[in-house]
Structure 1
Amino acid sequence: GSRVVGARLLDTDTGSETTLSADVFINATGVWTEEIHKLAGVTGPFTVRASKGVHIVVPRDCLDADAALCFVTEKSVLFVIPWGEYWIIGTTDTDWDKNLAYPAATRADIDYILAHVNEKVRHPITVADIVGVYSGLRPLVSGTSESTTNLSRNHAVARVAPGLVSVAGGKYTTYRVIGRDAVAAAVQDIRGRMVPESVTDATPLLGAERYQAVANHTPALAHQYGLTTAQVEHLLGRYGSLVREVLALGVSDPALLAPIPGAPRYLLVEAVYAVTHEGALHVADIIERRLRIAMEYGHRGVECAAPIAQVVAPYLGWSAAEVAAEVDGYAATVAALLSAEQEATDAGANEMVARVSDPRSRIDVSQDR
């Protein structure tokens, strides 16, 4: 009838299908929100517009500064943020109606950032200084009724049909409030059970619990695992108090405690942990989405792809042919994205990313929205 009672799911790696049944579903799919509405045959009280934001990453010695900068341009707000051994500089704010999976950065995006930041610094930053470029899509919300006309970057939650709650908008920095509001709306459709009040505001992040106590043992951890204190501090910054869980994988295989070739700030054990504990299934998952190698090294992770693929192959059951396919596919992806960064327009960049070799065989990266 009019109630959402299930969802048919396609595994984009294997092609297998399954069906989930539930009292209520939460549609928290960002820029894909309206695609889910179409599948459900409903119209929500808000629409979602994709806005592309591009950032560049440069080494710390590019700027003679100690603190972040923030200023407004004619199109966006630009931040220059100290981040470890780098500066993150961005962002742009432009409409994007192309492929939602790969919102490619263009040369125009990069030139825009450089032009504005160079007005504020003594020594200009050049394209040659850039070690990483990354982009994403903000799900900006606009209302279809008077009560939601000014939502913009705020989040919106709505029960769009019995059994289906949609949430969109907001930012990473407000995700706990977004989650609380979405669940509060969803529990109204749960039948026969009481749901306790949200405790998200009092729940520590993964790795936050007992962090200081673990950090106090940095020298001891370094000695125990044969690492430098700098390596342990890097791991603490990434995993917090879960660092012992990460390092434990290296007890039976000490070779995993060696640096990743091509990305010596990371250890091979981190790539394995991405598979065993963080759900990574492909080389791109590890380099781009679990570790930050694609953002921190000029080769964008290409030099790391082979050693990473080889070390995780036993955990994922890959054959030699599958290892080679993962490595070649990642190199092709980086080549396509680098080509997109030389294009002047979004249309041109989108053509380049259509060449991306996505390891998930049932993901179509060639189509516009």
Structure 2
Amino acid sequence: MNIDRTTMLDKVKKETDFWDIVIIGGGATGLGAAVDASSRGYKTLLLEQHDFAKGTSSRSTKLVHGGVRYLQQGNVALVLEALRERGLLIQNAPHLVKNQSFIVPNYDWWEGPFYGIGMKVYDMLAGRLGIGKSKKLSREKTLELLPTIESEGLKGGVIYYDGQFDDSRLAINLAQTALDHGGYTINYAKVTGLLKTNDAVSGVKAQDQLTGEDFEVNARAVVNATGVFTDDILEMDDSDAQDIIVPSQGVHIMLDKDFLPGDSAIMVPHTEDGRVLFAVPWHDKILVGTTDTPVESPELEPMAMEEEVDFILDHATKYLTGNPTRADIKSVFAGLRPLVNTSGSKDTADISRDHTLLVSLSGLVTIAGGKWTTYRKMAEDTIDKAATVAGLKEQDCITEELRIHGWLKNVDREDHLHNYGSDKVAIDKIIENNPKMGEPLHERLPYLKAEVIWAVRNEMAITVEDVLSRRTRALLLDAKASIEMAPEVARLMAKEAGHDKQWQEKQVEEYKTIADRYIFSG
């Protein structure tokens, strides 16, 4: 079915009755909550100020994992929950989530036994939802699997298995899943205030960011799922509300596959800032990160700092014989973690990644913290609470076994269109009807013209950035190539959506301004 944002928004603006649940925020947490609420049969609306997954949820390390670092910290409960959710997500979105082998290279005599035992505990905690057994590797086997690993002093390695996914593609599929179950998910609709009746939250004020039109929505329950912007909504509710979010910036760089050929990823369990460092194959490139840098205030387009990029390059050079430099970086991106600080800790690496659920005196339900892997459990807890607060009829959560839009079990991972799952058939049809749509948009990337058409028609892509950053991942994989693709993407979008030449030019200009920030020329 074609998804028409305008038609949907018109219905929302004309609706005078109450929605059961209105969710503010279209990242992993908000979209998960929309899927949960709509699949229970609640009348559900989600409003996102920009595009789905514009913020943190498109800028992750692309891992569905239990969290080896949390095991080091002794947070077994979080690891248990995350490993269980990892198993469920692999079952519920097999077109987007896959098993990924990770190798911990050992350079000290004690590392082999130490990490070997640690990974056995990790396997054990996964139980029947485990995806592969860890084992110790000889020096020779480690070099065979990681031919570009630094060999000097290498003693061997430990191999283990975790999940890997495409974060913004999953976000789009979650928005579609909510729609499939009768919910409404609308991007570029910013909540500007809360409606109250007798001091209780009874809806939201919002603005259509494309037309500037203001509208109001009545709701029995309102959920604040705005990630790093959580405090802004809490302040709308209560001007004296205490800030609870401590934003922490994580930076990643993208390198060519030559730096780490083969299928295995590298996991470095301890860096100078106490973080785990990953070098992971992703979309035929290598993703390396991440950092943990406290930042003062959140923004939609955070910038990587020079010292963060140098930190990643320094560590990559220690472990990769290719010794990547700044000139090798294809793209650099930064994301902000919405950490909830109730401990008073100044070190963001020490702040728990557990999620936090709060109910204000007004009845506003706030969900904060957490991570992509546990989005489904966070949503379940949130909708349980929201339904109780609003006095809604009790309905059981069904998302543990709910297939996410696009579900397809056996996909050909060599074909980049596998990310669309069962929707791939419709994209193939676009190409069949017009073979020109099967042409690539750029010689260095696999994306096709048909994907632009599909994104406009069926995935609520409004801007060139929506297409190049989140419907495809061109911006993250090769920022310069994505800039070169922008004029053709704008032309295809304009033709599909009925925009003029001026719109195209403005879009290309705006996109270049954003994409320039992903090119590291420092």
Structure 1 length-normalised TM: 0.80
Give the distance between the partners of 1:169 and 1:98, measured in 2 at CA.
16
What is the CA-CA distance between 1:336 and the residue it aligns to?
4.5
Match of 2:280 among 71, 81, 95: 81
2:465 equivalent to 1:284 = yes
CA deviation after TM superposition for structure 1 residue 334, in Å: 2.3
SS in 2 for 1:74: coil
Aligned amino acid, residue 393 of structure 2: M
Deviation of 1:114 (Å)? 0.6
The CA distance in 2 between the partners of 1:314 and 1:98, in whole Å, is 39
Select which of 239, 246, 257 maps to 1:60. Answer: 257
Contact 2:249/2:291, CA 8 A, preserved across alignment: yes
Contact 2:254 2:285 in 1 (8 A): yes
SS, match of residue 433 in structure 2:
coil
Aligned length: 318
Answer whether contact 1:287 1:301 (CA < 8 A) is retained. yes
- The answer to whether 1:97 aligns with 2:296 is yes
SS at match of 2:250: strand
Q: Distance in 2 between matches of 1:44 and 1:181?
A: 23
Amino acid at match of 2:342: G
Write the deviation string for residues 103-153 of structure 1: whole angstroms up to 9, x where unpaired: 1012221111010121122231112221121111100112289xxxx9621
Structure 2 unaligned residues grouped into runs of 5+: 1-197, 345-349
CA distance in 2: counterparts of 1:66 and 1:252, whole angstroms? 36
Shift of the alpha carbon at 1:274? 1.3
The amino acid of 1:202's aligned partner reads E
Distance 1:295 1:37 in 2: 32
Give the Cα–Cα distance (whole angstroms) in 2 for the partners of residues 326 and 3 of structure 1: 41
- How many angstroms apart in 2 are the aligned matches of 1:336 and 1:69? 27
Which residue of structure 1 aligns with residue 353 of structure 2? 153
Indicate which of 337, 340, 361 corresponds to 1:138. 337
Kindly provide the CA deviation profile for residues 245-278 of structure 1, in whole angstroms up to 9, marking residues without a partner as x: 2223334333222211355411111111111111
Shift in CA distance, 44/178, structure 1 to aligned 2, threshold 3 Å: farther
2:409 is aligned with 1:211 = yes
Deviations 1:192-239 (A, max 9, x none): x4131111111122222x432xx4xx7xxxxxxxxxx95xx2101x11
Residue 226 of structure 2 is matched in structure 1 by 29
Is the 8 Å Cα contact of residues 44 and 158 (structure 1) preserved in structure 2?
no
1:195 and 2:394 matched: yes
Q: Contact 1:42 / 1:161 at 8 angstroms: preserved in 2?
A: no
Would you say 1:294 and 2:475 are equivalent positions? yes
**Structure 1 residues 238-277: aligned runs within 5 Å:** 238-262=419-443, 264-277=445-458
Give the AA of the match of 2:511.
Y
Displacement of 1:26: 0.6
Tell me the percent identity. Answer: 30
**Cα distance between partner residues in 2 of 1:46 and 1:254:** 54
SS in 2 for 1:244: helix
Q: CA deviation digits over 1:47-77, x for unaligned, max 9?
A: 1111110001111111355421112112122
Secondary structure of 2:480's partner? coil
CA RMSD of aligned residues (A): 2.3
Distance 1:198 1:46, change over 3 A: farther
Q: Secondary structure at the match of 2:459?
A: coil
Q: Residues 479 and 518 of structure 2 are in contact (CA less than 8 Å); yes or no, is this contact kept in structure 1?
A: no
Show the 5 A alignment for 1:176-187.
Answer: 176-187=376-387
CA distance in 2, matches of 1:56, 1:164: 38
Contact 1:45 1:144 in 2 (8 A): no
Q: Residues 327, 80 of structure 1: CA spacing in aligned structure 2 closer, same or farther, 3 A cutoff?
A: same
